[in-house]
Structure 1
Amino acid sequence: MKRTLLSMIVATSLTTAAYAGDMNTDNKWEKGAKDAWIDGKAEATLLFNGNLDSFDINTDVDNGNVILTGKVENSVDKKLAEELVANIDGVKSVDNKLTIVENRKDMSEDSMSDDMKTAYDKSTSELTDAKIATVIKTRLLMDTDISGFDIDVDVEAGNVTLTGDVDSDAERDLVIAIAKGASDVKDVEDNLRVVTETAMN
């Protein structure tokens, strides 16, 4: 009887140890699979963004922490890449190591004529507006509580205009909060319309 009891205790101990080992392996596998999913999602998000040359951007993921390396043309593209990746589910942090490589010759503001300065400022402003619109639209499309395809996002000089249909006041508040939360946004104009199911029938 004692020998049988002793055998059962040993067997139970070995099974528990093996199970604990399997759990550690499972946890490592889960983390690896999650990192791979985040990496794939990050690459796809950057690839489908029309404002970025994603072939020059590399993403590496370690336990939910994303490292961006590669080249972009300006600081707006650098910020845009970071914001798009930071918004992906499961991303804990983004280490933005992207290098800015200007295509045109650097010119100091002193050497620019007034017309050139105006054109440069307009170009920078348009890039920033495009970045804001892309970030907001991406966040709306990725949020499962929002019907992002029904919402238009227009940006001019940092001022965002939201138009389209939402299902409830809560959804409208969420859309506005997302728009206000994007970097470089100065103001948000709400032209959203709450369309209830009864009204639609």
Structure 2
Amino acid sequence: MKTLIQKSVLGLTLLAAVAGLSGCFPLLVGGAVTTVMVASDRRTPGTVVEDNGIQLKANNRIDDSLGDRGHIDVTAYNRQVLLTGEVPSEQDKQLVEKIVANVENVRSVLNELAVMGNSTLGQRSSDALVTSRVKANLVDAKDLYANAFKVTTERGTVYLMGRVTKREADRATEVVTATSGVQKLVRILEIISEDELVRMMQQPSDAKAQ
């Protein structure tokens, strides 16, 4: 019996550790499993599914139209789409935007594609490193919920997406701009009030799913 209890405690401890990364974990209370939300992703579960679908459909349609002509990254957050990367012509840039705008559930498109040759593998690796540093610094900032932000880096420019308060936006700006390797910050943030954040975090998870 002691071993079983120890295993149960260990299991909950591991789940809590995972929650620090994902922002959500199942908790066993009185024999029932409950979901505990930890101020992480502030989209509804339905919107998260829509965003994933938008990215998949957009990438497939872009590949069908352009093939390997260009290097294009599609990032969707709360049905807003960010386009980054490189395309060989202005016509291709506008074509990609049109393709993405016609994807189901897309609310708006921010076209940050550059008309130039594709970035090198070294440049992309450098961008990936910058993104990792930014995410780590957001985690280290104890007054921020790192999972409330989505980070994308392209040629040293960091794009920050999320639904946050003005205080969180300003604090995140300080953190990101102080990060090594960041050349420029572009904020694509939806600003919510502190009261709205409180209501959001008090809202039961099953209500968020509706």
Q: Which has the higher helix share?
A: 1
The structure richer in strand per residue is: 2
TM-score after normalising by structure 1: 0.37
Q: How high is the TM-score relative to the length of structure 2?
A: 0.35
- Rg (Cα) greater in structure: 1
More relative contact order, 1 or 2 (CA 8 Å, 6+ apart):
2
